[in-house]
Amino acid sequence: MRMYDLIMKKKNGGRLSREEIEYMIAEYTAGRIPDYQMSAMMMAVYFRGMDAQETAALTTAMADSGGRMDLSGIAGIKVDKHSTGGVGDKTSIALAPMAAACGAKIAKMSGRGLGHTGGTIDKLESFKGFTTGISAQHFIKQVNDIGISIMGQTADIAPADKKLYALRDVTATVDNMSLIASSIMSKKLASGADAIVLDVKTGSGAFMKEEPDAFALAREMTTLGNLAGKKTIAVVSDMDQPLGYAVGNALEVKEAIAALRGEGPEDFRQLCMTLGTCMLIAGGAAADEKEGRDKLAQVIENGKALDKLAEFVRAQGGDPQDVYDTSRLPEADMAEEIPSPQSGYIGKIDCDEVGVCSLILGGGRETKESAIDLSVGLVLHKKTGDPVSAGEPLATIYANDREKLSAAKERFLKAYHISEEQPPKRELIRGVIK
């Protein structure tokens, strides 16, 4: 078999067989197919697409490019949750302890942020000493002991995807449905959980800007998961504006903790309840939606979800006191409000641009090697549809560098569009695919 022939076949709109896909992935992982040939293939796939069989073959080939985690040492149904990525998406930090406090077994693998989207691992490192670099044995024991652990993706989990994702990132081939579906699901299949709940984002801050594309991606991923014998549920949710009000690592952790206290923004609470219910049902901890919602509301009310977060932080090297006293989390030196230049309604927010503001402040990575500042970011005061008067603050920026603050402020003002008329309300939850 020759990679040249496979590129030619896909370029001409042909269908790659399972053997051809397995050959391509195995040889690329081993370094025997160069990046320039794989880049050409990715671009051919981008324009010609892949059908369901090709996507399934690509997913399993990537899942099998390294080891698969064996979680059979954990009693019960292990549940993982994954978001396709967004701005202000601190969901896992509140949701995982909520579901664990209800009796689900949360065995989750997470990644770091790249580009305008944040990552759960970076956010969790706002707890001093906290680490996700734990061994498989630690992970398994912790889920058995306290019902929850989050570990970083090990080098052995789907290494083909790691290489391919980095290549797609620099060749403008990320936003293709088959490539995103196989990338996410290869990691999820290799990470060993029995049930997977996916949060598929749609809108200006998401990879899938258009809702029909997000639904197609959700269907593709649930099919891949269920075919592989994992109970997979997808929720399609809005990412046309940041989730909640906080954007930036420690700021988001504070907002997640507020939600565990029964405070916090309504959209965030609603998403946690919807995803949490799916997790409890998939994990066998609730029989139906009503029971799931009741249980989740109860663990917020009685403080068990907050205590579960503290227990989880302690088990992975952090100080549980940080959960009860959030003034101990990283704080920026400067805080500056951004006043609205005019009166009207918030008509539209370029959500990815708000993520870029946090990146400019130092809260995200420009490259995989960049160090990040956990304390910086933004807290929004106005969201889409809110009325605003000239001079009223749209957001507060938290920064440690005056120049970065000015650059972020300038960018932020371009991301907020003020209109004379109130825009129609966008629903947060667009649908659930079971």
Q: Looking at beta carbons only, is 50 or 296 nearer to ligand URA?
A: 50
Q: Which of 110, 182, 183, 340 is catalytic?
A: 183
CB of 297 to ligand URA, least distance (A): 31
CB of 165 to ligand URA, least distance (A): 6
R_g of the chain computed on alpha carbons = 21
Q: Which residue is nearest to ligand URA (CB)?
A: 183
**Beta-carbon-side half-sphere exposure of residue 123 (alpha carbons within 13 Å):** 30
**Does the CA dihedral 370-352-191-169 come out positive or negative?**
negative
Strand partners, 196: 80, 232
Q: Looking at beta carbons only, is 112 or 314 nearer to ligand URA?
A: 112
CB of 41 to ligand URA, least distance (A): 15
Q: Which of 81, 90, 112, 187 is catalytic?
A: 187
Q: Which of 10, 168, 295, 430 is catalytic?
A: 168
- 18 belongs to the catalytic site: no
Q: At what angle do helices 266-282 and 249-260 cross, to 10 degrees?
A: 70
Burial (CB count <10 Å: 0-12, 13-18, 19+), residue 381 = middle
CB of 58 to ligand URA, least distance (A): 12
Contact (Cβ atoms closer than 8 angstroms) between residue 160 and residue 62: yes
Cα–Cα distance list, 204 to 211, 301, 405, 423 (Å): 11, 34, 23, 16
Q: Looking at beta carbons only, is 200 or 346 nearer to ligand URA?
A: 200
Report the distance separating Cα 356 and Cα 416, nearest Å: 13
Report the distance separating Cα 9 and Cα 13, nearest Å: 7
Number of Cβ within 10 Å of residue 277's Cβ equals 26
CB of 69 to ligand URA, least distance (A): 17
Q: Looking at beta carbons only, is 207 or 412 nearer to ligand URA?
A: 207
Report the distance separating Cα 164 and Cα 179, nearest Å: 10
- 373 belongs to the catalytic site: no
Number of Cβ within 10 Å of residue 215's Cβ equals 18
CB of 310 to ligand URA, least distance (A): 29
- 370 belongs to the catalytic site: no
Residues ≥6 apart with Cβ < 8 Å to 392: 339, 340, 381, 382
- 183 belongs to the catalytic site: yes
Q: Looking at beta carbons only, is 100 or 243 nearer to ligand URA?
A: 243
Which residue do the tokens 């029989």 mark? Answer: 287
Among the listed residues 219, 213, 188, the one whose alpha carbon sits nearest the alpha carbon of residue 60: 188
Q: Looking at beta carbons only, is 165 or 416 nearer to ligand URA?
A: 165
Which residues of 222-341 form beta strands (DSSP E)?
231-238, 246-247, 334-339
Cα–Cα distance list, 17 to 24, 52, 87, 228, 250 (Å): 11, 12, 37, 19, 46
CB of 118 to ligand URA, least distance (A): 13
Q: Looking at beta carbons only, is 180 or 272 nearer to ligand URA?
A: 180
Report the distance separating Cα 173 and Cα 317, nearest Å: 38
CB of 29 to ligand URA, least distance (A): 16
Report the distance separating Cα 190 and Cα 72, nearest Å: 13
Q: Which of 64, 80, 122, 161 is catalytic?
A: 161
Q: Looking at beta carbons only, is 174 or 227 nearer to ligand URA?
A: 174
Which residue do the tokens 């916090």 mark? Answer: 264
- Give the DSSP H or E segment for 314: helix 304-315
Q: Kindly list the residues in this chain that would bind ligand URA in the complex (CB under 6 A).
A: 84-85, 165, 174, 179-180, 183-184, 207
Which residues of 257-408 form beta strands (DSSP E)?
334-339, 344-349, 377-380, 387-388, 393-399
- 269 belongs to the catalytic site: no
CB of 329 to ligand URA, least distance (A): 27
Q: Looking at beta carbons only, is 178 or 277 nearer to ligand URA?
A: 178
Q: List residues with catalytic annotation.
A: 82, 161, 168, 183, 187
